Amino acid sequence: MTLGTSLRCVGSTFPGVSIPVPGEDPDDPSFSYDEMAYFGENCSEHGLPAPDGVEVTRVEHRLADGRRISALRWGSESPEVVLVHGGAQNAHTWDTVALALRGTSLLAVDLPGHGRSSWRGDRRYDTTAGAEDLAEAVATLAPGARSVVGMSLGGLTSIALTRVADVVEHLVLVDITPGVDAHKAAEVHAFIAGPQTFPDFAEIFARTVAFNPTRTPASLRRGILHNAHRTADGSWEWNYDRRPLTGTEGDDPTAELGVGVLWDDLSATPASILLLRGGASPVVDDDDVAELLRRRPDARVVVVEGSGHSIQGDRPIELAALLRDELGL
């Protein structure tokens, strides 16, 4: 599927948001989603060569309890780098970064309860449980990988991974530290805590645009298609398990993640640490950076100007260049 020319205006549910939905209408009964069909759009939007010959395979690992961890393997060789997305995202959030790093074998993982990975019946989505599942999957799907790049929840899970498995030599944190709290993550939580279902694609698109004003409509359309599905009655529903995030107003959505021990994990790990901070993001503040450097004077901190929390979405080419330099790719 390629980006089409038809446009459809968003309704009035979200006042002030009137961005038309680009491309083929996802509500059309003839529309068919193919997760591998959008790489050309990514390349065109960011000035990358066409994805001719790029090899991407959907792979999975079955956990001991029968759940599955799904992932995208970029390249035919054993992956060198593991990419771990944030909460309410999935492996496709790294597509443009992976396309910019073509030639490097990568594993982009769907965390438990996200993408095509199984939901947990016990709703345990804390960082330790996630790291234990991630460690088992990496051992099978990327046994030679020693570099882990984690964004937001994926970054916290990657920190915990350094405690539960001896596999991380290079750790890149994308706009996250254990200093995250409800106030810093308020904007992120506000989006995630919204509706689970929407009457049509225009509505889910409008809400996504409202919370992501710096992103292009085409990129947001792709992101929704990778992260939601059309149900039998024609409505749209997010793919990720939102159940742990529903609570009474005022609850701290970060409390259940088990971040309390993660500062000590950063102190203890022998892995090199690079923190990439979104210049326009509130999620990491100066105190967080100071605490990281107090505990790990050898850590490097780079501010990516013009980026919000999702650096891989806002500045994927810059992120790819930073990873290439840091990890020697």
Residues 133, 226, 309, 314: which is the catalytic one? 309
- Beta-bridge mates of residue 148: 82, 171
Residues 110, 175, 241, 288: which is the catalytic one? 175
Element of type H or E holding 45: helix 39-46
Question: What tokens were used for 125?
Answer: 């989505």
Q: Is 61 a catalytic residue?
A: no
Rounded CA Rg of the chain: 19
Amino acid at position 183, single letter: H
Q: Is 12 a catalytic residue?
A: no
Helix (H, G, I), strand (E, B) or coil at 236: strand
Q: What is the bridge-based pairing of β-strands 170-174 and 147-151?
A: parallel
Residues 117, 152, 158, 307: which is the catalytic one? 152
Which stretches of the chain are assigned E, i.e. beta strand?
A: 7-8, 21-22, 56-62, 68-74, 81-84, 106-109, 147-151, 170-174, 197-198, 228-230, 236-238, 272-278, 300-304
Query: How many residues appear in the chain?
Result: 329
Q: What is the 3-state secondary structure of 237-298?
A: EECCCCHHHCCCCCCCCCHHHCHHHHHHHHHHCCCEEEEEEECCCCCCCHHHHHHHHHHCCC
- Exposed, middle or buried: residue 169 (CB in 10 Å: 0-12, 13-18, 19+)? middle
Q: Is 32 a catalytic residue?
A: no
Question: What tokens were used for 101?
Answer: 């790093």
Catalytic residues: 152, 175, 309
